[in-house]
Amino acid sequence: MTVADATTTPPRTAAALTALAERRARALLGGGPQAAARQHARGRLTARERVELLLDPGSFAETDALVRHDCPALGASRPYGDGVVTGHGTVDGRPVALFAHDATVFGGSMGEAFGRKVLKVMDHALRTGCPVVGLNDSGGARIQEAVVSLAHYAELAHRNVRASGVIPQISLLLGSCAGGAAYSPALTDFTVMTEGTSRMFVTGPDVIRSVTGEDTTAEALGGARANATVNGNAHYLAADEADAFDFTRVLLSYLPANNCEPPPVYAGPGADDAADDPVLDTLAPASPRAAYDMRHIVRRVVDDGELLEIHERFAPNVVCAFARAAGATVGVVANQPAHAAGALDIDASEKAARFVRFCDAFGIPLLTFVDVPGYLSGAEQERDGIVRRGAKLLYAYSEATVPQVTVVTGKAYGGGYAVMGSKHLGADVNLAWPTARIAVMGARGAVEILHRRALREAADPDALRRELADAYEREVATPYTAAERGYLDAVIAPRETRRYVLRALRALREKSRPAPERRHGNIPL
């Protein structure tokens, strides 16, 4: 064969290539230009537009683009792709698998072919050990396909549970997610919702109105803000889809690809390069009742002052965030005295417990900052199960095997001292500022119990109360009592915190821990 012959495409091959191009073009159309225009009018992007915004340019490799349903009840309409785009690509050069509901085709509803595609990409992620991202915008189960649709929702949930603690799972809710479809995102590790355009609930307002008589709206019931602030279903409230993709890309930069790989390490200052920071001395709480933003302290300790908060709008009395220390990922858990004095209630306990378990499942060290008056008291909290639900945080810290460093900056009273990464639950290195106050309870409460008779008989009970409280804080509620018993490894000047933390994490880098197929899943607490 001559060179000229080799560059001439045979007619049969040319026809086949033309047919392939036609099918690809039809698959790329989704529901067509008019359906795409309707999607844009609702303030939402199409599935492929979303994929391109999330992934590195040109990295997307689509799978099953030519899959079509085989359901007679749907008639002659058999669009390619069947309402979902699946495949894999990279984010900052690191592999991810993903699926994106195509609301322009059958409303993004799940049928058998749709379900097979999503399960296939989940299986790919598990086999290759890469994160999986789901871009959700679906009408739910495809009614025409009846139980087949329900079966695939159940199988997807089963895949979510199998993948839990093995690969990171992230759900972006960019439109509707109702009924049984809501439970798959609930089983993933992180859920992102967009303000004004995404909704998630099990039962919509019309059904609720007909069954219970309650009158509500879809936005109040399952809007992004309600899910991010009231019930805690959403870990991040995005301003729009671009913000949701930006958050997801940053989140992935902190996470390992799977539970067998270490978290990524970026160039950063070494453990010996941390100079003392006199600003921290000025942030030390002057009073155990002082309200201040714990994030100001945390930012002075971690690299470049950068925090990626998780569940920022839910249970703000505890801060959960990813950060870096000497270039390596750490999970930060910190009481927040600026909200409810940093007390632990049911929501804060469950929020922190789930975050601790995620970090432990994926080998991310824990850095805990403590300023807590204890568990929140009150009849409502007791009725709602603070004993059972608050114990989840105790369990999470006790179960954790990753390196753990704890810094007590202010008060650490009662059960709050024990649960917040104490030495007794297995923390490796425990530090405290000289301003720390560690005791069964605060000075005011202790004085009222210990000296009630003397106060009752005193000529000036207020003066005596102040005197006794000062003595209690000076002699009892002090970090030196804990240090004398080895419950603290060191009492340090606030300015020294970053240096001590980085050296502790470096010393714990090779901490031995069990490495089974997976440590545990990340149950939606």
33-42 long-range Cβ contacts below 8 angstroms, 24+ apart: 35/104, 35/105, 36/104, 38/104, 39/103, 39/104, 42/175, 42/197
- pLDDT score at 493: 97
pLDDT tens figures, 10-45? 888 888 888 877 787 777 777 788 878 888 988 899
What's the mean pLDDT when you consider all of the chain?
89
Kindly give, in sequence order, each residue whose CB lies less than 8 Å from that of residue 54, ignoring residues fewer than 6 positions away.
91, 98, 133, 135, 245, 248, 249
pLDDT tens figures, 277-334? 999 999 988 777 788 999 999 999 999 999 999 999 999 999 999 999 999 999 999 9
- Per-residue pLDDT band at 272 (split at 50, 70, 90): low
Q: Tell me the mean pLDDT in the region 119-133.
A: 97
- Per-residue pLDDT band at 1 (split at 50, 70, 90): very low
What is the share, in percent, of the chain residues with pLDDT greater than 90?
A: 60
CA angle 355, 99, 174 (to 5 degrees): 70
Lookup result for tokens 């210990």: 450
CA angle 169, 187, 145 (to 5 degrees): 100
| 142 close to 106: Cβ distance less than 8 angstroms | yes
| 331 close to 365: Cβ distance less than 8 angstroms | yes
- What's the per-residue H, E or C state across 432-479? ECCCCEEECCCHHHHHHHHCHHHHHHCCCHHHHHHHHHHHHHHHCCCH
Strand partners, 495: none
pLDDT tens figures, 434-447? 999 988 766 676 65
Alpha-helical runs (H) found in 303-405: 346-361, 379-383, 386-399
Structure tokens at 477: 């509620």
Q: Tell me the mean pLDDT in the region 194-198.
A: 93
Q: Tell me the mean pLDDT in the region 127-136.
A: 97
| 132 close to 97: Cβ distance less than 8 angstroms | yes
- Per-residue pLDDT band at 463 (split at 50, 70, 90): low
Question: Could you report how far apart the first and last alpha carbons of the chain are, in Å?
Answer: 68
- Per-residue pLDDT band at 241 (split at 50, 70, 90): very high
- Per-residue pLDDT band at 271 (split at 50, 70, 90): low
All domains of the chain, ordered by start, with CATH? 31-254 (3.90.226.10), 271-442+477-507 (3.90.226.10)
Q: Tell me the mean pLDDT in the region 82-98.
A: 96
What is the share, in percent, of the chain residues with pLDDT greater than 70?
A: 91
Q: Is 63 exposed, middle or buried (0-12, 13-18, 19+ CB in 10 A)?
A: middle
pLDDT tens figures, 383-424? 999 999 999 999 999 999 999 999 999 999 888 999 999 999
For the ranges 73-77, 159-163, 438-442, 448-452, the lowest mean pLDDT is seen at 448-452
| 243 close to 217: Cβ distance less than 8 angstroms | no
Question: In this model, does residue 229 exceed pLDDT 90?
Answer: yes
For residues 332 and 32, give the distance between their C-alpha atoms in angstroms, rounded to a whole number.
Answer: 46
- Per-residue pLDDT band at 449 (split at 50, 70, 90): confident
Q: Is 127 exposed, middle or buried (0-12, 13-18, 19+ CB in 10 A)?
A: exposed
- pLDDT score at 13: 87
